[in-house]
Chain A
Amino acid sequence: MNMAAETKYRFFIQQYKNKIFTYSIYMLKNRMDAEDVTQEVLIKIWKNIEGVNVLSAKTWIMKSTHNLCIDVLRKRAIDTKREVCIDEYFEETFEGNNTENDPYNKFQINVMSQRIKEAVQKLPENLKSVFVLYEIQNLRYKEISKTLDIPLNSVKVYLLRARKKLQEDLKRNELREVV
């Protein structure tokens, strides 16, 4: 592997490692699996580094991540024990990332974020993938369409449905808390 390829690889890693990891976490609801998928994707990038077009790399990388996540989801059975683990992990990671010093604000944001993360994770896979790519990864409709291999209009429809579903879930949770 030459110097140019290594520079290109380092650039990709710097740009996309957290995106790959975040997407995997939301899709798989499990830290260990997300780490494994991230590793696999990073190795895949290295293997294909010379053939990867810099301009279309984003969709290629996210597509690879999505496909690997789907593979994992297909293979594994739903394990409720793991969901408890991921909840704990989310709390830990969020506390680690938060730079806010005010304890009250920190608490508020933490609660808010936790609530949303849980609700997003509960979305159906097709809606969740579009929602995460659009709202968290900041991909455009066209990029999502390429990444997930679905028509542009479906991206818009899924996004809308995801937002509605998220709203309903949050409302239901609020009501439950009140009761």
Chain B
Amino acid sequence: MTDKLINKIISVAYGDANIFDIIHIKILAIKNREVSKLLNEYKATACEVRTLKEEVLPEEIMNKVAARIGAKTENKTNFTNDILSLFITRPIITSAAALILILSLVTTMFILRQNNDTLYTQEEIEKAGLQTKQVFETISEIFSKTENYVKENVLKENVAKPMTKSFNKITKAIKEGDVK
């Protein structure tokens, strides 16, 4: 087993390896008993390490410090400390909260602005309706004119007439052929 492989196994066991290493080692552990054994051993130690907790500083030490500096070092938690600790110890949460707040503000402003734009008086709405009606009438007029033009000029002159001419020519040719 190479050093590189052992290092990977250790990282996987302690839970700070990347996804590719995790997959690689898991596959190797299935295939190779030695890898599996080492991984389990390190995992067990990692679990034990996680049981270690911070030691608690005795209160008497705090009292000694308070006496030396002449200030209160009370252990009570307060709102200011809670807020400060949230900002300092959990920067991701704070950033996410700030982002959500900004997004919601922007969205609210956008929606309000849109609503302002669509606020019309009854008179304006009626006028707009009338104008729309006029536009549709004009369009319908153009369509009917176009239809007539196509029927009379395009179809008659450019389609019907040449077709009749062609049919006549074919009939004539067939008749002449019969005679011959």
Task: Determine whether A142 belongs to the interface, using a CB cutoff of 8 Å to chain B.
Answer: no
The closest CB in chain B to the CB of A46 belongs to B69
Residues A14 and B53 in contact, CB atoms below 8 Å apart:
no
For window 7-51 of A, CB contacts with B under 8 Å fall at: 7, 9-11, 13-15, 17-22, 25, 35, 38-39, 42-43, 46
Partner of B84, one of A11, A20, A109, A171: A11
Task: Determine whether B112 belongs to the interface, using a CB cutoff of 8 Å to chain A.
Answer: no
Q: Give bound CA distance, A8 to B12, whole Å.
A: 39
Q: Give bound CA distance, A116 to B50, whole Å.
A: 10
Residues A13 and B69 in contact, CB atoms below 8 Å apart:
no
| CB proximity of B76 to chain A, nearest CB, Å | 9
Residues B81 and A10 in contact, CB atoms below 8 Å apart:
yes
Residues B75 and A14 in contact, CB atoms below 8 Å apart:
yes
Q: Give bound CA distance, A10 to B69, whole Å.
A: 13
Partner of B65, one of A39, A113, A160, A164: A39
The closest CB in chain B to the CB of A5 belongs to B71
Residues B73 and A55 in contact, CB atoms below 8 Å apart:
no
For window 30-66 of B, CB contacts with A under 8 Å fall at: 41-42, 45, 48-58, 61-62, 64-65
Q: Give bound CA distance, A165 to B108, whole Å.
A: 57
Task: Determine whether A112 belongs to the interface, using a CB cutoff of 8 Å to chain B.
Answer: yes
Residues B71 and A9 in contact, CB atoms below 8 Å apart:
yes
| CB proximity of B6 to chain A, nearest CB, Å | 8
Q: Which residues of A contact B116 (CB under 8 A)?
A: none
Task: Determine whether A80 belongs to the interface, using a CB cutoff of 8 Å to chain B.
Answer: no
Residues B68 and A38 in contact, CB atoms below 8 Å apart:
no
Taking chain A's interface residues, is the majority helix, strand, or loop, or is none over half, making it mixed?
A: helix
Task: Determine whether A82 belongs to the interface, using a CB cutoff of 8 Å to chain B.
Answer: no
Q: Which residues of B contact A164 (CB under 8 A)?
A: 6, 10
Q: Which residues of B contact A112 (CB under 8 A)?
A: 48, 51
Task: Determine whether B134 belongs to the interface, using a CB cutoff of 8 Å to chain A.
Answer: no
Task: Determine whether A1 belongs to the interface, using a CB cutoff of 8 Å to chain B.
Answer: yes
24 A-B pairs, CB-CB below 8 angstroms? A9-B73, A10-B72, A10-B73, A10-B74, A14-B75, A15-B85, A17-B62, A18-B55, A22-B54, A35-B57, A35-B58, A43-B69, A46-B65, A54-B84, A96-B56, A112-B51, A113-B48, A135-B52, A163-B45, A164-B10, A166-B45, A167-B10, A167-B42, A171-B41
Q: A14-B85, A160-B7 are in contact. List 16 more A-B contacts (CB 8 A).
A: A1-B71, A7-B81, A11-B80, A11-B81, A13-B73, A22-B55, A39-B65, A43-B65, A43-B68, A97-B55, A113-B48, A135-B49, A136-B52, A163-B14, A166-B49, A167-B45
Interface set of B (CB-CB < 8 Å, partner A): 6-7, 10-11, 14, 41-42, 45, 48-58, 61-62, 64-65, 68-69, 71-75, 77-78, 80-81, 84-85, 88-89
